[in-house]
Amino acid sequence: MTDKPRIILDCDPGIDDAFAIVTASRWAEIIAVTTVSGNVSLDKTTANALRLRSLIGSDFPVHAGAHKPLEVAPLSAGHVHGDCGLGGIDLPYSSESPDSNNAIEFLVEETRKEEGLHLVPIGPLTNIALALQADPDMAKRVSSITFMGGSAGGLGNVTAAAEFNIYADPEAAQVVLQSGSPVSMVGLNLTHQVQVGTKETEICHSIDTPVGSAMAYLLDFYADFYRSHLGTDTGSMHDPCAVLAITHPELFAFEEKYVAVEVNGQHTRGMTLVDERGVGSEFEPNCRVAYNVNAQEAVALIMQAVAEV
């Protein structure tokens, strides 16, 4: 056993999810990858997790989870990640099947077998919410639920107020935030600090390995999105930030806050409302909110992972 943090990465690969898998492979001990419907449909996110596992030569189990959010129809972000979820990359599909099609049961059972795991959801929170509903005590068995999603300060990307992972399944996010688990939120206010552009694409291109080439391809594809849709020269590397918040917490500044999810608002459904009042608030903090990160170091660690995995 190593002294790296032991994590279950719950994901919807996804370009930045692929970077999160690579980052976690280098800096954490991946106990398993669980997949969820999000950026693309569940069959695609699961297939991509298996493709990425082969690419990096790893052997973590892959368990497929929920094919739709708790109460609403699935949303997709194909315009960001491409129809297949990985920008049409020429990466062989694995002949292997997922280790199970029941990520919910896996989450419940694995956290019973081993207390103190970190759950790192970087897609919609459906799987984690379903596992908490199946066994509310799971909340106390984990060291943290550190999710990428939401935002402090009311910043959205799908809508003016809502970030994709929360907007895709606000009811699930609310279950997680109300679970009593040690929850940390790594939202857009944080991930927008961690930008990648031409320099990082070139670094990946210069890494003469299958992983380097694949990550270079993904960054090239991502660049088309942020240049054409956002009009920017760089894009946010969202999902690896949640991994680094566990593996390199010294790079992050967190504050304990009360966070609620708007599930009803006409304009604000899916928004994470962070109570910034401090003293005088009637609500106890339920979440560690990430506010700042040493972005230069974070990007360097992601690139190092690409080079060394």
Sign of CA dihedral 80, 231, 204, 157: negative
Q: Are 38 and 14 in contact (CB under 8 A)?
A: yes
Report the residue number, 40 or 122, with the smaller CB distance to Ca ion: 122
| Residue 67 annotated among the catalytic residues of the structure | no
CA 284, CA 57: separation in Å to the nearest integer?
44
CA 254, CA 143: separation in Å to the nearest integer?
16
Report the residue number, 17 or 110, with the smaller CB distance to Ca ion: 17
> How many of the other CB atoms lie within 10 Å of CB of 212?
18
DSSP annotation of 148 reads E
Smallest gap from residue 172 Cβ to ligand BDR (A) = 14
Report the residue number, 14 or 69, with the smaller CB distance to Ca ion: 14
Binding partner of residue 225 among Ca ion, ligand BDR, none, CB cut-off 5 to 8 Å per kind? none
Binding partner of residue 163 among Ca ion, ligand BDR, none, CB cut-off 5 to 8 Å per kind? ligand BDR
How would you classify the pairing of strands 252-261 and 287-293?
antiparallel
Nearest of 198, 204, 200, 191 to residue 89 by alpha carbon: 204
C-alpha R_g of the chain: 18
Smallest gap from residue 229 Cβ to ligand BDR (A) = 12
What's the helix, strand, coil split of the chain in %, to 5? Answer: 40, 20, 40
Binding partner of residue 77 among ligand BDR, Ca ion, none, CB cut-off 5 to 8 Å per kind? ligand BDR
* Half-sphere exposure for 245 (CA within 13 Å, toward CB): 33
Q: Are 177 and 183 in contact (CB under 8 A)?
A: yes
Smallest gap from residue 219 Cβ to ligand BDR (A) = 14
3-class SS of residue 142: coil
How many residues appear in the chain?
Answer: 309
Report the residue number, 17 or 163, with the smaller CB distance to Ca ion: 17
Smallest gap from residue 71 Cβ to Ca ion (A) = 20
Residue nearest to ligand BDR (CB): 164
Smallest gap from residue 16 Cβ to Ca ion (A) = 6
CA 248, CA 227: separation in Å to the nearest integer?
30
Q: Which residues bind Ca ion (CB under 5 A)?
A: 12, 14, 17, 122-123, 239
Smallest gap from residue 184 Cβ to Ca ion (A) = 16
Nearest of 136, 157, 117, 156 to residue 8 by alpha carbon: 117
Report the residue number, 148 or 215, with the smaller CB distance to ligand BDR: 148
- DSSP strands (E only) in 101-202: 118-121, 144-148, 183-186, 195-196
Report the residue number, 85 or 258, with the smaller CB distance to Ca ion: 85
**Active-site residue identified among 192, 205, 238, 267:** 238
Q: Which residues bind ligand BDR (CB under 6 A)?
A: 14, 16-17, 39, 77, 80, 122-123, 148, 157, 163-165, 238-239
The pair of three-digit structure tokens given for residue 8, joined into one six-digit string: 């279950």
Binding partner of residue 164 among Ca ion, ligand BDR, none, CB cut-off 5 to 8 Å per kind? ligand BDR
Binding partner of residue 98 among Ca ion, ligand BDR, none, CB cut-off 5 to 8 Å per kind? none
Catalytic residues: 238
